[in-house]
Amino acid sequence: MNKEKILIVEDDEVTAMHLKMSLQKLGYEVLPIAENTMQARNKIKIYEPDAILLDISLQESTDGIDLAAHIRSKYAIPFIYLTSHAENEILDEAKVTEPYGYIVKPFDPKSLHPTIQMALYKFKEERKLKEDIDALKVDKEHLEKLLYTKKVTDQPIVPFAHDYHLDISSCETFYKNEKIKLTKKENAFIRLLVAQLGLVVSFSQAMEYVWENEGATENSVRTLVWRLRSKLPTDIIKNASGMGYYLEE
């Protein structure tokens, strides 16, 4: 049975060596350690790791978060942040990259194996589900029919979440009957979520419907959702990590 390959991205030599020895004792193959983002990008290409342990604050900056966003956009590899209690102020920024877990420094060697195995299992299951979801292409005519079946009156209004509604004739979003100022793409994404209320809208479905496959990436979708969440009065858009987003019924 092949050992799972782990890449450590950590600029503190003591922490990196401690991690390496602990992982080797647990039976993992530890790849050459990367101390910065440039080394990490090169090693990911060369070694194709099964998982990455990534310091959230490389070189006392948010380089770890930037690297995580790069990994998300370019590779199908789960990553786990290495963080400390002092870094709570940047955790909100880190959440946008949707990591597969966190390991708090100084770490307990006993926590490494279950954290990594859970990340690998979650990643594997997500990939299976994502393949199934991606196979369902967005049929715009069917989507419009779904929206019309969700009307509760003769008006072109579809309620969703709590105190929200979508005007499907103008593709505008309202909260407590007050229009929320959104971009065309943001309103289109809401329309897609409402049409598939309770179901996951995958990244590929969003790219196909909102951008019509014109140069968008998964990061384009994540950025759109990040901006959209900042404009919505309540937190109604839920993550399906690694797959997409959904609105609860």
pLDDT in tens, 66-120: 899 889 888 889 999 998 865 666 777 788 888 999 998 888 888 899 999 999 9
Residues of the chain with CATH 1.10.10.10: 140-247
Residues of the chain with CATH 3.40.50.2300: 5-133
8 A C-beta contact, residue 44 and residue 75: yes
Name which of 146, 161, 130, 123 is nearest 244 in CA terms: 130
Domain 5-133 has CATH 3.40.640.10: no
Q: Which of 124-133, 164-173, 217-226 has the lowest mean pLDDT?
A: 124-133
Q: What is the pLDDT of residue 5?
A: 95
The model's pLDDT over 4-29, given as tens digits with 9 standing for 90+, comes to 999 999 999 999 999 999 999 999 99
Domain 140-247 has CATH 3.40.50.2020: no
When pLDDT is averaged across residues 187-199 and rounded to a whole number, the result is: 91
pLDDT for 135 beyond 70: no
pTM recorded for the entire structure: 0.59
Torsion, CA 64, CA 67, CA 73, CA 78, rounded to 10? -60
Name which of 114, 80, 122 is nearest 97 in CA terms: 80
Name the pairing type of β-strands 79-84 and 102-105.
Answer: parallel
Residue 52 Cα to chain centre, angstroms: 16
Instruction: State residue 232 phi and psi, 5-degree precision.
Output: -80, 140
Handedness of CA 46, 48, 54, 57 (dihedral sign): positive
